[in-house]
Amino acid sequence: VLPTIYAITPTYKRAVQKAELTRLSNTFRLIPQFHWIVVEDSNARTELVSRFLAHSGLQCTHLHVPTPRRYKRPGMHRATEQRNAALDWLRMHRSSKNPGVVFFADDDNTYSVELFEEMRWTRKVSVWPVGLVGGGRYERPLVDKGRVVGWYTGWNANRPFPIDMAGFAVNLQVVLENPKAMFKRQGSKPGMQESDFLKQITKVEELEPRAANCTKVLVWHTRTEKVNLGNERWRDSIHIEV
């Protein structure tokens, strides 16, 4: 059987939210054996996201957890609590009987369909390049004889795993076998979310390079411009969800 791909997407309310989710779901619909875990950064599940997922045609789990106010500041890591909530859900609802792969799919990135077939047969942790990240055109693991031997990265190459959230996937069994592995805020420095997490479950020597020995970009760390709502002067007579 094909291992299920569990994509974990933290998301929060803003003008572009539905557009982002639409772009994502249109890609995800093309992926067989796919399960979308959407975690809203909110006090409750919103109607917009609930309705959206119900009509998406995707196998979905819809969770929510609010980021504590003190962490909603510039420079703070984003979506720590949401990713952890998804990991908790997997540990509660999946077991050694469920072949799967876990991937952290932020709502604003761009994913090629090919990427998901690259990650599907991950044994422990697989890695690949990410485009448009780290202040350069791409970042990637350097590979020699099928092993990761270093990193091409724009900044702080001394991080244990200088890799973006979109640059790796983890076998579901590794998540289940390491029940305490989580994203942390305590003691975590800027840009260290990925390293702090990966350190708990793997070693560089074990990483499985994908995407033609990490020479192909199949995911892009795109960021969506903040929308200008400054021209919205009137009130329409009907309410339209955007």
Q: Active-site residues: which are they?
A: 194
**15 C-beta neighbours (distance < 10 Å), count:** 12
Q: Which of 108, 178, 191, 201 binds Mn ion (CB under 5 A)?
A: 108
Handedness of CA 94, 100, 104, 106 (dihedral sign): negative
Q: Which of 87, 204, 60 is nearest to 142 (CA)?
A: 204
Contact call for residues 116 and 5 (beta carbons, < 8 A): yes
Q: Which of 220, 213, 217, 197 is nearest to 149 (CA)?
A: 213
- State the binding string over 211-230 for ligand UDP (x if CB under 6 A, else -): ------------x-------
HSE-up of residue 201 (Cα within 13 Å, Cβ side): 27
Nearer Cβ to ligand UDP, position 13 or 51?
13
d(CA 175, CA 142): 25
Q: Which of 56, 67, 84, 153 binds ligand UDP (CB under 6 A)?
A: 67
Question: Does 139 help bind ligand UDP (rule: CB under 6 A)?
Answer: no
Q: Which of 20, 106, 118, 139 binds Mn ion (CB under 5 A)?
A: 106
Nearer Cβ to ligand UDP, position 9 or 202?
9
Question: Does 41 help bind ligand UDP (rule: CB under 6 A)?
Answer: yes
Site for ligand UDP, rule CB under 6 A: 9-12, 41, 67, 72, 78-79, 82, 106-108, 223
- Which parts of this chain interact with Mn ion (CB under 5 A)? 106, 108
